[in-house]
Amino acid sequence: MTPQTIAAWIGIAVGGLTVVTTLGRWFIVAPLKRYIAEQTHPIQPDANGGKSLPDVAVAITRVETKLDNVESWLTKVDQRFIEHLQDHNQRSA
């Protein structure tokens, strides 16, 4: 093989890679970007004060924590009420 032939084959390979890369961007990357943009587009951009889904998730986590605290408090109140009724029933008997 002559140096010109090797250079020609290298040129063909580089040209082929360029074509494959360009086609990959057009037919793979661009449609994926469009798909992701469509799927992550806000359904109601003015709803929730314009906050994103992660913002809503954080708010829900805070609400969940508060509800857990309320549940814990109610459980303690319920236990105290049951103890009070038992004490009252023992005194009455």
pLDDT by residue (tens digit) across 39-86?
877 666 666 666 677 777 888 999 999 999 999 999 998 888 888 888
- What's residue 43's pLDDT? 67
50 in the Ramachandran plot: left (φ > 0), alpha (ψ -120 to 50) or beta? Answer: left
Q: What is the pLDDT of residue 70?
A: 92
pLDDT of residue 85: 84
Q: Please report the pLDDT score of residue 49 as a whole number.
A: 67
Q: For 70-93, b where at least 16 C-beta lie within 10 A, e where not — what string?
A: eeeeeeeeeeeeeeeeeeeeeeee
**pTM score > 0.85 for this model?**
no
Confidence of residue 38 (pLDDT cuts 50, 70, 90): confident
